[in-house]
Amino acid sequence: MNKKTLRDIDVNGKRVLVRVDFNVPLDIDTGTISDDTRIREVLPTIKYLTDKEAKVILCSHLGRPGGKVVDGLRLAPVARRLSEILSSPVEMAVDCIGPQVEEAVDRLKGGGILLLENLRFHPEEETNDSGFAEELARLADIFINDAFGTAHRTHASTVGVTKYLPAVAGLLMEKEINIMDKALNDPERPLAVLIGGAKINSKIGILENIIDKVDSLLIAGGMSSTFLRALQYNVGQSSVKDEKEDKVGLAKLLIEKAAEKGVPLLLPSDVVVADRFASDARSRTVSVDNVPTSWYIMDIGPRTIELFETELRKSKTIIWNGPVGVFEFPKFSKGTEAMANVLAGLDATTVIGGGSTAEAVVEMGLTDKMSHISTGGGASLKFLEGKTLPGVVVLQDKEAG
């Protein structure tokens, strides 16, 4: 990564505003955090700063409050969990800007930690309002972006503040970018990419970018119906979901391009179908050439699992983004679980692209079996598309001196 990190600047005793991604799964009624991975991943940055006696001012969003205060989306439960993990106090601010927050920062001692209230309680955060960004920046001497999960957003706390403060990357941001970049652009080969998920619109850019980089490409999930349709298969009701129809022609071009380059492009050979898009729907496994017209494709079948496993076992680097079925319904989670178990058992570099894929791996308790699980779903998608991330572009370049 050619951007400066917190190691490249003097943070000793400074007021440091750190954008983190504490958008953790939270039970609004009880305040219980079911997965604190995103909190723990930022610990190296926090500990580095506290060891330097910096005044650490953390800011994050939580959920989608829509620019207004939602009591169930306050960050107090996150502050409590972080305090428990660190075994040291974490103060909670009453807001993220304003005189009371400035006073709380003034009271903060070297090595102390203050967590600001949910940034998205203010609509100006998501509109990248310059006044809001300036108020945030007023709290600190230095800005550190350690929120890879929001690096694809042009928000006040990711981009706006960099107009007013020296801005560098945190240790998690550096780790995410370096791992993703190596896996995609300098991998140990063969490189296989497994793409799933329901929305082809969010993945088509990835496929266009990686077709020249991969040694094999495996496509499943709801989006595979577009490719099956391009090959003249009937895919039942799946064909009209998420406006896939207008992407059939592009899917055909990608199939042809893969063939020209000699890149194996694997699609499901059998699927689990259901008479309704529901957890308790009637279901059965059929060949892809025998999908009932009124049914939905919900998962990959056993022959496809075997086909994919055989291909993945040949690979030394694997990037996986998107479940291969409707894994949130237990009845249709078998394919996703099988892929996770296959990757967990391989002697290969396995990079999991955040979002729902990461959620599935975490739920199965396989986190430690993967080389890297990204903390950013949307950001990892943009990275795999080869696009620049707004929250990274604005950070200081190492060459800038």
Q: What is the pLDDT along the chain (401 residues), one digit of tens a residue?
A: 899 999 999 999 999 999 999 999 898 888 899 889 999 999 999 999 999 999 999 999 999 999 999 999 999 999 999 999 999 999 999 999 999 999 999 999 999 999 999 999 999 999 999 999 999 999 999 999 999 999 999 999 999 999 999 999 999 999 999 999 999 999 999 999 999 987 677 788 888 889 999 999 999 998 899 999 999 999 998 864 444 456 888 889 999 999 999 999 999 999 999 999 999 999 999 999 999 999 999 999 999 999 999 999 999 999 999 999 999 999 999 999 999 999 999 999 999 987 789 889 988 999 999 999 998 888 888 888 888 999 999 999 997 44
Single pTM value for the model: 0.90
Give the tokens for residue 317: 């680097």
Domains of the chain with CATH codes: 6-174 (3.40.50.1260), 187-384 (3.40.50.1260)
- Specify whether the CB–CB gap between 213 and 184 falls below 8 A: yes
- 56-95, pLDDT tens digit by residue? 999 999 999 999 999 999 999 999 999 999 999 999 999 9
- 300-338, pLDDT tens digit by residue? 999 999 999 999 999 999 999 999 999 999 999 999 999
β pairing state of 26-27 and 32-33: antiparallel
**Cα torsion 96, 100, 105, 109: sign:** negative
d(CA 140, CA 49): 13
User: Treating both helix axes as pointing N-terminal to C-terminal, what angle do 171-185 and 377-384 enclose, rounded to 10 degrees?
Assistant: 40
d(CA 207, CA 193): 9
pLDDT of residue 28: 83
For 296, list phi and psi in degrees, rounded to 5: -110, 140
Interacting residues of 183 by C-beta distance below 8 A, sequence separation 6+: 191, 317, 319, 349, 351, 372
- 209-220, pLDDT tens digit by residue? 899 999 999 999
User: Sheet holding 265-266: strands in order across?
Assistant: 265-266, 216-219, 191-195, 317-321, 349-352, 372-373
Pick from 109, 113, 68: nearest CA to 89 = 113
- Specify whether the CB–CB gap between 6 and 169 falls below 8 A: yes
Whether the bond between 302 and the residue before it is cis, its omega within 30 degrees of 0, is no
β pairing state of 113-115 and 270-274: unpaired
SS3 assignment, position 70? coil
Helix ranges (H only) for 217-312 are 224-230, 248-261, 302-312
d(CA 72, CA 76): 10
d(CA 259, CA 57): 52
Q: Tell me which residues are annotated as active site.
A: 38, 199, 355, 378
Long-range contacts of 254-263 (CB under 8 A, 24+ apart): 254/207, 254/208, 254/211, 254/227, 255/227, 255/230, 255/231, 257/211, 258/211, 258/217, 261/211, 261/212, 263/211, 263/214, 263/215, 263/216, 263/217
